[in-house]
Amino acid sequence: MIHVTAYSNTKGLQKDLTLEQLSDLDWNWYWVDFEAPTEDEVKLLDSYFHFHPLAIEDCLHELQRPKLDYYDDHTFFVLHSVNHEELEREEIDIFLGECAIVTFHKEPAPSLDIAERLLKRSKDMSKVDEYFILYQILDKVVDNYFPIVYEIEDHINEIETNTKNLSMEKLLDELFDRRSELLTLRQTVHPMRDLLYRVLNTHHLEGVHDRREYFADIHDHLIKVADIIASNREMTQDIRDSYLSLNSHQTNRTMQILTVISVIFMPLTFIVGVYGMNFQHMPELETQYGYLVVWIIMIGVATGMFMWFKSKGWFD
């Protein structure tokens, strides 16, 4: 599906145009959005817009690394947005030319919808151009990272406090899921941060320098998101180490108790084993109070060993 929005001084802002109408009037700028395009619509990137074949090839290959390429008559951007529900990366490709911006994406892009709504509400259309639209798209893509990161952070806090009284195995499973989500975000945010750094320091995009403070604000947001992700990953590592240490402590405690029980029963087992032998000439077997004496000895040995272990602090 192709959505065309354009602006001219005579007709104002026009929406839902056709590509043929773009040549009918001298437009100040136009925005063409390719959303889940068909094969015939993809061919228009070459036949109608005459974009570079390498840029078109990058559009067709999914999940290119966020990047910025310069060509003779246009600049090509690859952005990564994040699906809030499935937490998967989705690619948005942008062709920026003179008085024109073309976006290409195979999945619905809420960030573009928000940018389009803001464009409609703009009071001074004379200040709107293709770089203003580029800024709005970048800004909304980056702003979408924050609620995802904050939601993961809330989950990590729940794991730390264990408000649901989950077992340690389930807590660790959830913790590793959160670490995997943070890794996905880090693999998205860091390349995007590098992309904005290139945008800010390039000499090819004059419109960026006119709005440098706005694009610098996006770069600052990316730095903030990257710091939050790094902080949360450190937190998950600390929680993981704490849980593993606690689990190791509990295991050692259990082994300690079992060791005490085993050590106490070792001499008792020896005594029982000796008097369990069925030799004919065992003088203790004919003693009248032998059974009682053996019991007293075994109880005394067990009590003595128990008191000795307790004095060593094994039961504290």
CB atoms within 10 A of CB 282: 13
Structure tokens at 193: 């941060």
Determine the pLDDT at residue 279. Answer: 75
User: Structure tokens of 103?
Assistant: 């976006």
Q: What is the pTM of this model?
A: 0.76
Query: For the chain, what are the domain ranges?
Result: 2-245, 252-312
* The predicted structure's pLDDT at residue 293: 84
Residues pairing with 78 in the sheet: 67, 93
Give the number of other Cβ atoms within 10 Å of residue 32's Cβ.
Answer: 22
- Residue 259 has what pLDDT? 84
pLDDT per residue as tens, the chain (316 positions): 888 888 777 777 778 788 887 776 678 888 888 888 888 888 888 888 888 888 888 888 877 788 888 888 888 999 988 888 778 888 889 999 888 899 998 888 888 888 888 777 777 777 778 888 888 899 989 999 999 999 988 888 887 787 777 777 787 888 888 888 888 889 889 999 999 998 888 888 888 888 889 889 999 999 999 999 999 888 888 887 777 777 777 788 888 888 888 888 888 888 888 877 777 777 777 777 888 888 888 899 888 888 888 887 777 6
Q: Three-state DSSP class for 280?
A: coil
DSSP 8-state class, residue 124: -
**Is the Cβ–Cβ distance between 5 and 17 less than 8 Å?**
yes
- What is the domain class of 252-312 according to CATH? mainly alpha
**Residues near 1 by Cβ (< 8 Å), separated by ≥ 6?**
34, 35, 36, 37, 41
Instruction: Identify which of 189, 102, 180, 104 has the alpha carbon closest to the alpha carbon of residue 141.
Output: 189
Give the helix/strand (H/E) hosting 7. Answer: strand 2-8
Compute the distance between CA of residue 20 and CA of residue 23 in angstroms, rounded to an integer: 6
| Coil, strand or helix at 5 | strand
With a CB cutoff of 8 Å and minimum separation 6, the contacts of 187 are 89
Report how far apart, in Å, the C-alpha atoms of 140 and of each of 30, 80, 313 are. 19, 11, 61
What is the pLDDT, as a whole number, of residue 223? 93
Topology adopted by domain 2-245:
Beta Polymerase; domain 2 (3.30.460)
Residue from 9, 198, 26 nearest 100 by CA: 26
Q: CB neighbours (10 Å) of residue 182? A: 23
- Residue 191 corresponds to which tokens in the numbers above? 């390349």
pLDDT tens profile 291-311 = 888 888 889 988 888 888 888
- DSSP assignments along 64-105, one per residue: PPSEEEE-SSEEEEEEEEE-TTT--EEEEEEEEETTEEEEEE
